[in-house]
Amino acid sequence: MRTISPRLLASWQRSENYGVSLEDVQPTFSGTYDDESLFVECGREVLTDLHDTLSSEPVGLMLTDADGLVLNRFSGDRQLLHALDDVHLAPGFSYSERQAGTNGLGLALADRVPTLVRAEDHYTLSLRLYTCAAAPVFDPVSGRLEGAVNLTTWSEKASDLLLALAQTAATSTANLMLARSQGRNPRRVTRGQVFRIEGLREQSENAPLRDLSDVWNKAVTRTVEALTAGRMVAAVGERGSGRATLLAQAVRQVHPHDRLFAVRSPAPRDTDSWFSVWTPELSRPNTGFVLCDVDDLSSPAAERLRTMLVGERTSDATACPVSAEHFDAIPLPLRGLVETVVQVPPLRERAADIMPLANHLAWRARRREVDFTTSASRALTDYAWPGNVEELAQTVREAASRTDVVDVRHLPPEMLSRSEHLSRIKAFERDEIVRVLNRPGATSESAAAELGMSRATVYRKLAQYGIQLPRRD
């Protein structure tokens, strides 16, 4: 007798709850998608090479976004292509689990792990002519789920290697993305550290976080009002913008004496240990949680978490707000609990917050006051901060570890340049120009001599790289 895996049973149950047809797949057609992203560019190149190798095989190769939208499709088998058109497994159609029921790419995206769904495993009968293998692709720098590689063939064809091919293509796509992102280091996870649960302490009296912008304070006030009224709150915005900090500040105002923990989402394979570590505390009085990045949770984990939040929290329990990039990214089981959504603007839209945050972060790094020159303050305030507060924190920590008075020469060279997407050689040249010109007492003549350039060339390079050297104090 065939054994049905728990993952497959859970997916079938979700498909039924979503109201997916048992007879025919009826996915939603979008027709528009971003075909110029780094993920699409690299995925297309990887699948094109793989298609050249498999051109004589009846295999459809597809790239999808994180919502299951099919972005492109390759196959040398016309009969298979026509058949895939009949079930709408084609560019522009969404094949998420919610839209098409249990299928390879939908289940891979829901659980965020490589998945093989054979003919009889599909929820909808019209898909049981096929076997599908899919592997999710994560951005190697941010760790964000970008989409999936999906391989589909006829159900009677041998499929033992299909999943391995999908995993190899997904890995190749991520590696190519890293190579083309100018060598930025991927997000590192310490061995054995698959998620974080941190106790959030009250701010030190020596380094209070004060004098923040009106837009930040209004967001905190709105969150406090919602929590006081007993409503479930979601703070949404770009990663690193301070969503968890905002929620923690608000919870502290409403429940100043309670224990408070920040809970980071786990890797899919570590969901069980994640639940076992912190959820026993859910029923404890005077204990609250800020659930960070819930958009990283798989659908089954979100459903399980919803059950616990609804069933194990007492009426007087401390609030349990969540954070995500945007409201629609919150898994549906948790989205239904959210009653108030608070938008957290990115740091580039809160210039008034940059120096108060920098001073606070510098004190945390050194445990004493660290000064910033006017030039450094101007450079920090003028920078766009694509990495938001997390990037500011790293920049300030590195600068404060080297000096008690931070000047522009202690800041990364790219902060003084408007140029982007430079090759490594050009980026090195830009950094050298900035380094030499930021030496105390440096002049254009001395910099040109050290760099082996004429003064005219130095000026031309400053314009080419968009280097803006702040005025000296």
Query: Any bridge partners for residue 152, and if so which?
Result: 60, 132
Distance (Å, whole) CA 423 – CA 420: 9
Distance (Å, whole) CA 121 – CA 285: 44
**Phi/psi of residue 447, nearest 5 degrees:** -65, -45
Beta carbons of 406 and 370 less than 8 angstroms apart: yes
Q: Which two tokens stand for residue 356?
A: 């108060």
At residue 189, the pLDDT reads 39
* Total residue length of the chain: 473
Q: Which residue ranges form the domains of the chain, and what is each CATH number?
A: 6-179 (3.30.450.40), 197-345 (3.40.50.300), 349-464 (1.10.8.60)
Instruction: Supply angle C-alpha 144, 265, 175, rounded to 5.
Output: 30
Query: Beta strand 371-372 with 405-406: parallel, antiparallel or unpaired?
Result: parallel
Distance (Å, whole) CA 395 – CA 357: 12
> Could you give the count of Cα atoms lying within 13 Å of 309 in the half-sphere of its Cβ?
22
At residue 469, the pLDDT reads 61
Specify burial of residue 355 (Cβ count, 10 A radius: 0-12, 13-18, 19+).
middle
Beta carbons of 130 and 122 less than 8 angstroms apart: yes
Beta carbons of 410 and 404 less than 8 angstroms apart: no
Question: Which residue, among 295, 290, 293, 292, has the nearest Cα to 330 in the 3D structure?
Answer: 295
Q: pTM of the predicted model, to two decimals?
A: 0.59
Q: Which residues of the chain have pLDDT under 70?
A: 1-2, 30-35, 158, 182-196, 198-210, 312-318, 414, 416-428, 431, 438, 464-473
At residue 215, the pLDDT reads 92
At residue 353, the pLDDT reads 93
> Could you give the count of Cα atoms lying within 13 Å of 180 in the half-sphere of its Cβ?
15
Distance (Å, whole) CA 111 – CA 77: 30
Beta carbons of 240 and 387 less than 8 angstroms apart: yes
Query: Beta strand 233-236 with 340-343: parallel, antiparallel or unpaired?
Result: parallel
Per-residue b or e along 57-80, where b marks 16 or more CB atoms closer than 10 Å to that residue's CB: ebbbbbbbbbbbbbbbbbbbbeeb
pLDDT tens digits, one per residue of 152-189: 999 887 677 899 999 999 999 999 998 887 644 444 43
At residue 466, the pLDDT reads 65
Q: At what angle do helices 299-312 and 104-111 cross, to 10 degrees?
A: 50
**Torsion (CA) 104, 110, 113, 117 in degrees, nearest 10:** -20
Distance (Å, whole) CA 418 – CA 400: 24
At residue 150, the pLDDT reads 97
